[in-house]
Amino acid sequence: MAHPSPHDPTAERWNDVDAYLTGTLVAPDEALSASIASLADEGMPEIEVAPLTGKLLHLLARIADARRVLEVGTLGAYSTIWLARALPAGGRVVTIEAEPHNAEVARRNLARAGVADRVEVREGRGADVLPTLAGDEPFDLVFIDADKESNALYLDWAARLGRPGTVVVVDNVVRSGHVVETDAGAQVDGVRAGLAVLRDDPRFEATALQTLDRKGWDGVAIAILV
Ligand code: DHB
Ligand code: MG
């Protein structure tokens, strides 16, 4: 078939583009592939970030010279591995996971990736674990990818646990376009509340990017602490 030049993205074309960009720019990696496979094998939701987004997190951490990284929502540690591999010697990722079984699978995946020594998986709800991190050295990058209802709370903790210049990334800010709806349920309400914090709270300067990839139509917000 000739290659049509669609004015609007079709799922077939954006998946082809995702496969092309991923195949071009993201090297295949056994530990990352195994962490993705573990989700299905362990009956966990297959909602890890797309490879291009995992590498975006990795590059942001390197651009920011991040030594201390905080993640809220570990799942199977796919994004955690990307972040851990961005750290210099002595660097650390603290990643918070509410589901004990997810945390157990994540620890296995981190060990297989050879980064268990620089990642601390903290089991518990973000609302309970985040306050225990106060007083430690500030985090240089924070990735928020957990229950969307709590995005505003997690952003408040990101601001408290960071310092001016800390990079803050929020996953899933488009939700197949539902983000523009004011009656789309608690998760979308949570995404919108988080974006309102990024707009209104003077501690943040933020933007957002829509993404079309193997995870569908979604997006990431990227912010800096002022
Ligand atoms: C969901 C959560 C995520 O973090 C994600 O990347 C995709 C989907 C969800 O809860 O549906
Ligand atoms: Mg996500």
What digits encode the pLDDT tens for the residues 13-48? 999 999 999 999 999 999 999 999 999 999 999 999
pLDDT value at residue 146: 98
Could you tell me whether strands 204-213 and 68-72 are parallel, antiparallel, or unpaired per DSSP bridges? unpaired
Ligand 1 atom with minimal separation from the 75 CA:
4
Contacts of 30 (CB under 8 A, 6+ apart): none
Q: Is the pLDDT score of 7 beyond 80?
A: no
219, pLDDT greater than 60: yes
Query: Quick check: 6 pLDDT over 70?
Result: no
CA of 50 to the centre of ligand 2 (A): 9
Q: Are 96 and 130 in contact (CB under 8 A)?
A: yes
pLDDT at 3 over 80: no
Work out the percent of the chain whose per-residue pLDDT is above 70: 98
Tally of CA atoms within 13 A in the half-sphere of 118 that contains its CB: 20
Query: Could you list which residues have their CB under 5 Å from ion ligand 2?
Result: 145, 171-172
For the full predicted model, state whether its pTM sits above 0.75.
Answer: yes
CA 1 / ligand 1 centre spacing (Å): 35
Report the distance separating Cα 193 and Cα 148, nearest Å.
Answer: 9
**47 CB within 6 A, ligand 1:** yes
Q: Which atom of ligand 1 is nearest to the CA of 145?
A: 4
Ligand 1, atom 3: nearest CA belongs to which residue?
47
> With a 6 A CB cut-off, is 145 part of the ligand 1 pocket?
yes
Q: Which two tokens stand for residue 165?
A: 């210049």
- Report how far residue 37's alpha carbon sits from residue 163's, in angstroms, rounded to the nearest whole number: 36
> How would you write the chain as a 3-class SS string?
CCCCCCCCCCHHHHHHHHHHHHHHHCCCCHHHHHHHHHHHHCCCCCCCCCHHHHHHHHHHHHHCCCCEEEEECCCCCHHHHHHHCCCCCCCEEEEEECCHHHHHHHHHHHHHCCCHHHEEEEECCHHHHHHHHCCCCCCCEEEECCCHHHHHHHHHHHHHHCCCCCEEEEECCCHHHHHHCCCCCHHHHHHHHHHHHHHHCCCEEEEEEEEEECCEEEEEEEEEEC
Q: Determine the distance from the C-alpha atom of residue 14 to the mean position of all C-alpha atoms in its chain, rounded to a whole number.
A: 21
CB 172 near ligand 1, within 6 Å: yes
Q: How remote is the CA of residue 75 from the centroid of ligand 2, in Å?
A: 9
Q: Which of 172, 175, 217 is the pocket-test mutation for ligand 1 (most atoms within 8 Å of CB)?
A: 172
User: Is the CB of 171 inside a 6 Å radius of any atom of ligand 1?
Assistant: yes
User: Is the predicted pLDDT of residue 122 greater than 70, yes or no?
Assistant: yes
pLDDT at 187: 98
Please report which confidence band the pLDDT of residue 2 belongs to, taking 50, 70 and 90 as the band edges.
low
Q: How far apart are the C-alpha atoms of 116 and 84, rounded to whole Å?
A: 9
